[in-house]
Amino acid sequence: MVTESNMSEFRAGLIAAVKTLESKYSIKIDFGPITYNEAGLSTRMEAKTLVNGEVMVDPIVELNATRYLLRFGHKAAGKIIGSTVALTNGKRGKITDFSNRKKNDPFTVEIDGQLYAVPLGAIKKFIDE
């Protein structure tokens, strides 16, 4: 039975178990928070296709990000998702996602392995690499 004391061990085992599926089917599987009680467990799972070792970007998400930038007068040259950006706080990061539903912070930026929700105003410039 899963308890609070062994939840991290369970999560680590779950992630290790799906590694075989990830390599066999060229996908990246992520799990959300796990909730549990004595009757069972619940989590969110998301699987994304890998192309040449990189997560494939949903073309609709890319289109929405481009439209968002254009609406606010920013040039949209090339791909948005996966771009390296310089932020107003001096840090650099990589845009990993965009969501129209997050009105205040629509971009998800990875900085030093951590994901942050970021508004357009915090992006100082896009860096071509």
pLDDT digits (tens, 9 = 90+) for 24-80: 999 999 988 888 888 888 999 999 898 888 878 889 999 999 899 888 888 767 788
| Backbone torsions φ then ψ of 2, nearest 5 degrees | -85, 130
Strand partners, 42: 35
Q: How many Cα neighbours within 13 Å face the side chain of 25?
A: 11
Strand partners, 54: 51
* Cut 0.85: pTM above it: no
CA 32: distance to chain centroid?
A: 12
